[in-house]
Amino acid sequence: MFICDNLGANADGHLTFAGQDTAALAARYGTPLYLMDEARVRHNCRVYRDAMRAHFAAGSRPLYAGKANCFAQLYRIMAEEDMGVDVVSCGEIRTAEKAGYDLANAYFHGNCKTDADIACAMARGVGYFVADNADELAAIEAEAARRGVRQKVLLRLTPGIDTHTYEAVNTGRVDSKFGAAIETGQAAELTALALRQAHIELTGFHCHVGSQVFAEDVFERAAVVMLEFIAAMRDAHGYTAQQLDLGGGYGVRYVADDPVLDIGEKIASVAAAVHAACARLNIPEPAILLEPGRSIVADAGLTLYTVGAVKRIPGYKNYVAVDGGMGDNPRFALYKSRYTVLPAGRMDAPRPLDCSVVGRCCESGDIIQENVPMPEDIRRGDLVAVCTTGAYNYSMASNYNRVPRPPIVMLRGDESFVAVRRETFDDLCALDA
Ligand code: LLP
């Protein structure tokens, strides 16, 4: 009945999330409000960790991709759950550091790291750099030489695989802005270049084929292409890669007709492809890394809003406007992403009204979701919940229209606490001269 088993309804007709009454949480913390279910985050981490330990070579592990959602409390959980992390900026690095996360377990991504980024990451002891291109490799070599260290590096490659997800997140193809293509020979050139650097220790290769991926076999095919490349580099240079990072991307269920992926089964299937390819190519199995973001945090998140206005345009359309919008969740505006939207305070009411749930920003595209079924008499003051907002909502939030960002409240057992406080108007003006 619900899209995730951390959702429910209680005797008062209120939506529950992680066993807590969302109406009570809205009353206590105000709206708009992001909620995070800590037990769900930990559960999702353990599914990856346990399956990877069971199926892959020693040293294999999941890295949480902080771009999906980044705040200090999450890195504390990642440390406790023995997760590595994927970081893409000094902002993410500093957040992890602030949380006391050991940056030796961090992998620094990005296709355009500046000299300042590289210096900041090296100074803070980030364990691994994932180099995207030759310009960056040279900059990493120069900084490592200046510091007199040997930096561990993986190279980002494009295996030439189309994941058939939405365009903005389809990254494995040869023409991608990310990485060096295997097909064009540029990946082999970048490898030869990396192996010549005195201050770079090449530990292996990385690819990330896309996000919100449900298509069959994508990760298996990517693994085989990458392992064939590893075998070719062994033949060309006598070089043995220790690590193969297959990136993130497994899809999550936003609406009832999305499939449910069994991550444990998916990992077992990738492992079977890895075992077979390594045996065929006669190469040792590298440690496998995966970088899940969305599938760690998406279903651990929920957003609560209060209705501010209901507008019926007879013969045309119905609008339910809420006190947040594209500032806290730009994903419909960007990708037409689908979400399950519920009347959190009136779960037992029939929902015959077809409406668009829209935000408060001065822009027609500020839509949370279209064709949402709502109670006929939905009105100002009612609560609206948007499910599965734990990934790429807070991390992509903006202050458009100078609207403060909502707080993040963590739910743990019967307790709740503020993990990120609500932005204030003073915060908004803090940078103004
Ligand atoms: N690793 C790399 C190198 C990535 O670029 C990404 C996502 C991930 C891991 C994590 O992928 P995930 O497991 O979360 O799919 N803003 C978009 C998603 C952009 C994903 C970018 N890269 C959205 O809201 O759908």
Q: Identify the band that residue 162 occupies on the pLDDT scale cut at 50, 70 and 90.
A: confident
Residue nearest to atom 23 of ligand 1 (CA): 392
- CB of 66 shorter than 6 A to ligand 1: no
Task: Give the C-alpha separation, 33 to 397, whole Å.
Answer: 13
109 lines ligand 1 (CB under 6 A): yes
Q: How confident is the model at residue 149 (pLDDT cuts 50, 70, 90)?
A: very high
113 lines ligand 1 (CB under 6 A): no
Mean pLDDT of 129-144: 98
Query: Are 150 and 173 spatial neighbours (Cβ–Cβ below 8 Å)?
Result: no
Q: Which atom of ligand 1 is nearest to the CA of 171?
A: 5
- Long-range contacts of 364-372, Cβ-Cβ distance < 8 Å, separation of 24 or more: 365/326, 365/333, 366/325, 366/326, 366/333, 367/326, 367/332, 367/333, 368/322, 368/324, 368/325, 368/329, 368/332, 368/339, 368/341, 369/332, 369/338, 369/339, 369/341, 370/332, 372/320, 372/341
In this prediction, residue 166 carries a pLDDT of 66
In the chain the first and final C-alpha atoms are separated, in Å, by 52
Residue 169 CB–ligand 1 contact under 6 Å:
yes
In angstroms, the CA 125 to CA 118 distance is 11
pLDDT score recorded for residue 161: 87
pLDDT digits (tens, 9 = 90+) for 336-378: 999 999 999 999 999 999 999 999 999 999 999 999 999 999 9
Mean pLDDT of 192-214: 97
Burial of 355 from C-beta contacts in 10 A (0-12 / 13-18 / 19+)? buried
Distance of alpha carbon 123 from alpha carbon 205, whole angstroms? 23
- Per-residue pLDDT band for 173 (boundaries 50, 70, 90) equals confident
Residue 362 annotated to the active site? yes
- Tokens 């298509």 correspond to 215
- Residues belonging to the chain: 433
Which one of the listed residues 112, 207, 362, 387 is annotated catalytic? Answer: 362
- DSSP class of residue 210 equals B
CA of residue 294 to ligand 1 center, whole Å? 7
Mind listing the pLDDT tens digit for each residue in 283-306? 999 999 999 999 999 999 999 999
Q: What is the pLDDT of residues 243-269, one digit of tens each?
A: 999 999 999 999 999 999 999 999 999
pLDDT (0 to 100) of residue 26: 98
- Higher-confidence residue of 167 and 419: namely 419
Query: What CA–CA distance (Å, rounded) separates 70 from 36?
Result: 12
Please report which confidence band the pLDDT of residue 167 belongs to, taking 50, 70 and 90 as the band edges: low
**Cβ 329 under 6 angstroms from ligand 1:** no
